[in-house]
Structure 1
Amino acid sequence: MADWIDAEQAIAALGVRAQTLYAYVSRGRVAAAAHPDDPRRSLYRASDVAALAARKARGRRAADVAAEAIAWGEPVLPSAITTVVEGRLFYRGQDAVELARMHSLEQVARLLRGGHGAPLKGPEPKKPKKGDTPRARLFSTLAVRAGIDPPARGRAPLALAMEAAGLLEAAADAVAGSIGDGPIHHRLGGAWKLDAQGADLVRRALVLLADHELNASTFAVRVAASTGASLAAASLAGLAALSGPLHGGMAARVEMFVDEAERRGPTRAVAERLAQGAAMPGFGHPLYPDGDPRAAALLGAFTAPPVLAQLRVETEAATGLLPNIDFALVAMAHALTLPADAPFSLFAVGRMAGWQAHAIEQLQTGQLIRPRARYIGPKAGVVA
């Protein structure tokens, strides 16, 4: 393996910490493979490391910076809602992990919208359609509302906040399959037949998922909102983006990894993925080279099933990657025996709070988001 180097060599060449190297691997910028003599250790493609080091040394053109901003790059628009600072997640300046200890999703949704006090209540929602999956009901609910709700542009912030609260309630009812009273985590807990402790875990997860800066789904929401579309239409754009396998659908990939661990054993499952150069879904996060605080907070609130606990140990030992929120959600779902698509449902309902806050914030700027494309097609010329 002439083109492969160990972690110490890669770290020295890049001038970074070990966790930063692991972040490069999770982003796909540096390929990793199992060490032929010790499958618990990793090797890194030397050519990838050299190219990355050379790029860092020569700097980047303005156009390159703008292009890379779309993929885990520099911030591209101002927001007062959420930020990540030194490995911690903050909602309107408050630590999300601390908020998750006691607050409900409704309270945090109000905070994200820039308000104070008790959550605003919207109008009585319509009864969700029976028979469909929670995911299908959620898409249908937002699609129906998007077809009848008025455009958001030009409406007062209070009216939008009330509509946002109503949409959040409707989303929770769609997932639960019925209209209920009380906090959202109690309603979901009732639908999933959880005890009080299980419902409280749902509450924690919802708060930790409420927002996460300018991720793919939130950007989709802001683009839609910038056109003046209704909050339901903007939220539907976010839900569509969330459904992709690289975003809210990541839980399905984590489940595949867990299934491999159950069939082959965690040690072999990790070693085989390293040997294939495959990703470790549920581990590592570009914004958190020292570990996802949301995952740490959620995993610390319950005992993970043995297979998942051992998979975490083996993956951390072999790659240095720490669990992210996707792994934590899957572990929680297994611990509580939740329905198969529960991680996505939790993600969608929780993130609705942030989507609505971002939609309202974008509307208040009065600006249309319209980036330019850098053309790379055939040379364009004037036809004589």
Structure 2
Amino acid sequence: MGERLTTRQVAERLGVKVETVYAYASRGQLSSERAPDGKGSTFDADEVAELAARGRRTPVRPVVGEPVTVRTGLTLIEHGRLYYRGRDAVELATRYGFEAAIGWLWGRGADAPVALRVPPATAEALSRAAAALPDGIRLPDRLRISVTVAAALDPLRFDLREQTVLAAGAALIAGMVEALPRTAPDSGPDASLAARLWSRLATDAPTPEALACLDRALVLLIDHELAVSTVAARVAASARAHPYAVVSAGLGATDGPLHGAASPLAHRMLAEVLAAGAVPVVSDYLRTGRPIPGLGHRLYPEGDPRAVALLDAVALLDGGAAVVAAVAAVEAAAAPAGGPGPRANIDLALSALALAAGLPAEAGEVVFAVARTPGWLAHAVEEYQEEPLRMRARASYTGPRPEARPLGPDGR
């Protein structure tokens, strides 16, 4: 039998407080056994040494103002396709659920799904915080508040070791959903995250097809290389912000209508098309010079494969075929005479899911934020291994030049 350490000995070897050792044990970072005398716990010395080794980082010199190449082993966009760690994202979404996709993105494999569970004490605190908010608070804003509350409750949030970051991230993803008001029958604590999220977006229990469609959307949105929210998340990580702050940075970037908040605009347009037809609605957008929401993506000139995969699933829902036909009508109406036009992107596909499933207009924005959170965390883990503060850019100054100071009598 190997050497066993007391809680205080573990704290001394790791350079942390005794309370932190208990937090490691509750997170699964360390396994404990009851001491022979029944007083306190003991820990395996080799396991403690391994945890300590993972926390050692070689000091590096920050590089300020130099061009930054962001190396990532997570996502590739090439020849009109999206790949997670070398695997086609559409293929992954058609075969696996969200938890398994997180396992794949986090380097554990799709056959090692990540358990997305929030500790009971944290869940209770999130529920209390959510109940204290005024009525009418938007669901995306509730997500942002829940991240701040969860951060304040985590004494290990400044531990940037990979295992700790991902353990915290798994609980955070579950907590973000837990903090949303329940609007449909409870799916139970052991249900998939898609089922738990559905009970916060819908008013009725889902059909198997609807739940599979939501799960597919989550997988298709889990990461997208260096999207603006991911850049924001990596900048925060480069400053060694803790993972909750990283997620908050990503959420801040999604609030713009050109990124995560694009889906509600597409939802409004598509609802108008379902009521009045594509030609008059598209014509009004063109006449007023407004861009047609949900069409085109500069990384997918031949069409967004995520949108195609999600619309295929939407078509299987009750009433989904009519919504998908409306999407096709928008594409046709927006195409220039005699040539192909922009195709539906993932934002329009998310709005189609919401309309076909009877979800609110902001559902797409919520799905986007929840889905992208494990991607931001994966990027944070990568960025924590890079030179700190390497994302510090330099400006090209365009303002007035400082006035030259006249020389004094002494020439100075």
Alignment TM-score, normalising by the size of structure 1: 0.75
Matches within 5 A, 1:78-93: 78-93=71-86
User: Could you tell me which residue of structure 2 aligns to residue 158 of structure 1?
Assistant: 163
- Partner Cα separation in structure 2 for residue 203 and residue 122 of structure 1: 17
Among 77, 84, 90, the alignment partner of 2:70 is 77
Aligned mates of 2:156, 2:245 — CA distance in 1: 9
Residue in structure 2 matching 1:202, options 214, 222, 227: 214
Structure 1 98/307 Cα, relative in aligned 2: closer, same or farther at 3 Å? closer
The secondary structure found in structure 2 opposite 1:364 is coil
Alpha-carbon distance between aligned partners in 1 of 2:105 and 2:405, rounded to the nearest angstrom: 53
Aligned-residue sequence identity (percent) comes to: 36
Q: Show the 5 A alignment for 1:1-384.
A: 76-116=69-109, 117-119=112-114, 124=119, 125-127=122-124, 128=127, 129-130=130-131, 133-149=138-154, 155-175=160-180, 177=182, 180-191=189-200, 192=202, 193-262=205-274, 264-303=276-315, 304=320, 306=322, 309-319=325-335, 320-368=341-389, 369-384=391-406
- In the TM superposition, what whole-angstrom CA distance separates every residue of 1:157-179 from its partner, at most 9, and x where no partner exists? 11112111111111222236488
CA distance in 1, matches of 2:277, 2:116: 48
Secondary structure, counterpart of 1:126 in structure 2: helix
Contact 2:237 2:246 in 1 (8 A): yes
Give 5+ residue unaligned stretches, structure 1: 1-65, 70-74
Specify whether residues 347 and 175 from structure 1 end up closer, same or farther in structure 2 by C-alpha distance, changes over 3 A only: farther
- From the CA coordinates, give the structure whose radius of gyration is larger: 2
CA shift, 1:150, in A, is: 5.3
**Offset, 1:362:** 0.7
Does the Cα contact within 8 Å between 2:233 and 2:246 map onto a contact in 1? yes
Change beyond 3 A, Cα 1:186–1:85: same
- Give the whole-Å Cα distance in 2 for the aligned partners of 1:339 and 1:225: 33
Cα distance in 2 for residues equivalent to 1:346 and 1:307: 19
2: CA distance between counterparts of 1:263 and 1:154? 52
CA RMSD of aligned residues (A): 2.6
Provide the C-alpha distance between the structure 1 equivalents of 2:144 and 2:308, rounded to a whole number of angstroms: 30
Q: Deviations over 1:319-344 (max 9, x none)?
A: 21100000000001111101232111
Shift of residue 242, structure 1, vs aligned partner = 0.6
3-state secondary structure, aligned to 1:365: coil
| Shift in Å, 1:198 | 0.9
What's the offset of the Cα at 1:284?
Answer: 0.3
Deviation at 1:133, TM superposition (A): 4.4
Contact 2:314 2:321 in 1 (8 A): no
Structure 2 unmatched runs, 5+:
1-64, 336-340, 407-412
TM-score between the two structures when normalised by the length of structure 2: 0.70
2:217 and 2:403 map into 1 onto residues whose CA distance is 55
Does the 8 A contact of 1:254 with 1:282 survive in 2? yes
2:395 partner letter: A
Which amino acid in the other structure matches residue 345 of structure 1? V
Distance in 2 (alpha carbons) for counterparts of 1:162 and 1:275: 51
User: Larger deviation: 212-221 or 273-282?
Assistant: 273-282
Tell me by how many angstroms 1:305 deviates: 5.4
Deviations 1:263-304 (A, max 9, x none): 542111112322333211101001000000000000011223
Kindly provide the amino acid, as one letter, of the partner of residue 199 in structure 1.
Answer: L
Residue number in structure 2 paired with 1:52: none
Give the direction of change, closer, same or farther, for the CA distance of 1:307–1:266 in structure 2 (3 Å limit): farther
Shift of 1:153: 6.1
* CA deviation map 1:335-365 (0-9, x unaligned): 1101232111111110111011111111121
What is the total number of aligned residue pairs between the two structures?
Answer: 313
Contact 2:105 2:375 in 1 (8 A): yes
